[in-house]
Structure 1
């Protein structure tokens, strides 16, 4: 579980960095409401399957997913 929380934290940092690069205003006061723990993909009692050969970007991370927009 700990490594998944670290992984989520790394990706949250990437999301914040990307939003900043896209020109969004980042209010650091909002960070107190961000947690890597309450994600539905964390299964604290089960098994995990990981892709051993993911496509990685220059930063060594998978590309961030683009949210689906409702039209």
Structure 2
């Protein structure tokens, strides 16, 4: 069986293999987290109605993304607090933090909904961290700048 050109390139290009592995690991981590979030009925969609199946899948994706977003906000707030305390934040350390954190989530707990109508404060997404060292300063020709971060 002969290898096609993309497979041969992947086998001979170590940086490409690292990027593919990193991307695959990120997708698998997301899928595992999404499955953990969608714990009802063991994560199995039992109905035969395609509309209900799609609704269930979309609700799980929405809930998963909402938790990931909340985790990212929490991580950013902790980084800001550390910076205010005088800590130096290394972008290489931040590159290894995953937003797929679940230890603080009580899936079977009681949750208050009386705060749903409250308007949150405006959020500033800016972090005072220089991520350019992760990109190697400048992108190589034809590169996407993520070789060192992957």
TM-score, length-scaled by structure 2: 0.31
Residues 71 and 101 in structure 2, CA contact (< 8 A), matched pair in contact too: no
Task: Give 5+ residue unaligned stretches, structure 2.
Answer: 1-63, 123-150
Cα 1:52/1:11, change in 2 over 3 Å: farther
How far, CA to CA, are the matches of 1:48 and 1:2 in structure 2? 21
Deviations 1:14-42 (CA, angstroms, capped at 9, x unpaired): 11011001101111110111011032227
**More helix by percentage:** 2
Kindly indicate whether residue 118 of structure 2 is the aligned counterpart of residue 52 of structure 1.
Answer: no
Tell me whether 1:14 sits opposite 2:14 in the alignment.
no
Backbone CA RMSD of aligned residues? 3.1
Greater relative CO, 1 or 2 (CA 8 Å, sep 6+): 1
- Deviating 4+ runs (over 3 angstroms): none
Distance 1:48 1:5 in 2: 20
* CA positional deviation for 1:60: 2.8
Cα distance in 1 for residues equivalent to 2:100 and 2:110: 16
Who wins on radius of gyration, i.e. which is larger?
Answer: 2
